[in-house]
Amino acid sequence: MDVFESVREAKFREKVRRFAREHVASVAQRVEEGMFPRDILQKLGEQHLLGTAFSKTDGGAGLGWSFETIVAEEISAVSAATEMARLASGALYAAPLAYFASKAQKHKFLCPVLAGNKVGALALTEPGAGSDAGSIKTHAERRGQGFVLNGEKRFITNGGVADFLFVFAVTDTAKPPKSGVSALLVPRDSQGVQTVKTYGLLGMHGANVVHLRFRNVDVPEENVVGGLHRGFPILLDELDRERPAVAAGMLGIARSAFESAVEYSSQREQFGRPIKEFEGVSFKLADMLVKLEASRLLILKAARLLDEGKLARLEGAVAKLFATESAFEITHQALQVHGGIGYTKDLPIERYFRDARFMMIGGGTSEIMRFLIQREIYKKSMGLSS
């Protein structure tokens, strides 16, 4: 066992890296051109690389979040948009089901997704509720033995292609927002579910990100997850688990950019020698490696805590903040090392740069991460739990 991972984890990493090389690399350009990687999700499911953290009885691999971050890093290193689709279905959508759903709900809505036969999407963000998740307006009104869902969700990854949606909605308007929210399972083909818009993105081409509208959508009571008005704790748990995996995805992009910069600086010559011999270039590589190594340790710390059944709210926020901002800086400097050719589409470095920008916004902005971190600092200083 080295500082970063056990022998078992290292063997697993090689398995995922081989999968990415054999299956993801060949379609990365097609995904960049707009293809949603549904076939890759199915292959990932066949290899138990969806729901890596979840129990085998639920269709997962039973390996924990440290292994999940390995998958996120290795797939993203080859195609970040493919990883975005995988993560949205096999972790963001799946985690609340794995930890809070009933056996019947798991059988119907989780197992097919982890097998890769169906696609899931988490529907939280709204036009008026982004960083302030407690201000969601989408509501589900009680009607007989079920609910009628109305509202809008935007920036929903996989939302236009998903078979199942995990929707957070207000079910009791008389209660404070954090006490009146429920988690609902909504089949994407339910009457009244509409795709208003599919967004064109700066990076992450091939990822399906949409604006959804719900108009009088019938939701049976058995599709409520974790109990009525118990949605907000489920939401917080999902976000805590999401952040280390998101950070690992950005680590994958940054690692690829770094490796490309090392190779290019060793081959490119100016003034009669390789540009790596100029400290203006080589010092950039040194700084990149420092950020990569620190990111990996912070991600691993958060994942290990989750695997021990402990809360990782602070550690997950720290990992996400540092890894996402570092990934953008690394890809920025890696592009600079490549010079003019790096700004063209002849090399993937410009894609790494564009893709890395996203996760300083998605999954909680850098500003929100700083807010969470300072809040946890002061809670700890006063001896309060999270």
Q: Is the pLDDT of residue 380 over 90?
A: no
Q: Cα separation of 187 and 351, whole Å?
A: 33
Q: For residue 283, what are the contacts with CB-CB under 8 A and spacing of at least 6?
A: none
Task: Give the C-alpha distances (Å, rounded to integers) separating 384 from 48, 114, 237, 370, 381.
Answer: 39, 37, 19, 19, 8
Q: Cα separation of 228 and 221, whole Å?
A: 9
* The pLDDT of residue 2: 67
User: What percentage of residues in the chain have a pLDDT greater than 90?
Assistant: 93
The 10s digit of each residue's pLDDT in 94-118 is 999 999 999 999 999 999 999 999 9
* The pLDDT of residue 132: 86
Q: Is the pLDDT of residue 128 over 70?
A: yes
Q: Is the pLDDT of residue 32 over 60?
A: yes
Q: What mean pLDDT comes out for the span 129-153?
A: 92
CA-based angle 359:363:364, to the nearest 5? 95
* The pLDDT of residue 4: 78
Q: For residue 144, what are the contacts with CB-CB under 8 A and spacing of at least 6?
A: none
* The pLDDT of residue 385: 57
Q: What mean pLDDT comes out for the span 76-104?
A: 97
Chain centroid to CA 363: 7
Q: Which domains occur in the chain, in start order?
A: 7-118 (1.10.540.10), 122-229 (2.40.110.10), 232-381 (1.20.140.10)
The 10s digit of each residue's pLDDT in 333-342 is 999 999 999 9
Which of 73, 242, 315, 325 is catalytic? The answer is 242
The 10s digit of each residue's pLDDT in 212-235 is 999 999 999 999 999 999 999 999
Q: What mean pLDDT comes out for the span 297-321?
A: 96
Q: Which two tokens stand for residue 108?
A: 């119907």
Token pair 């129990």 is found at 55
Query: Length of the chain, please?
Result: 386
**Quick check: is 242 catalytic?**
yes
Chain centroid to CA 125: 14
Q: Is the pLDDT of residue 1 over 60?
A: no
From the number of C-beta atoms within 10 Å of its C-beta (0-12, 13-18, 19+), residue 307 rates as middle
The 10s digit of each residue's pLDDT in 244-283 is 999 999 999 999 999 999 999 999 999 999 999 999 999 9
Q: What mean pLDDT comes out for the span 64-72?
A: 97
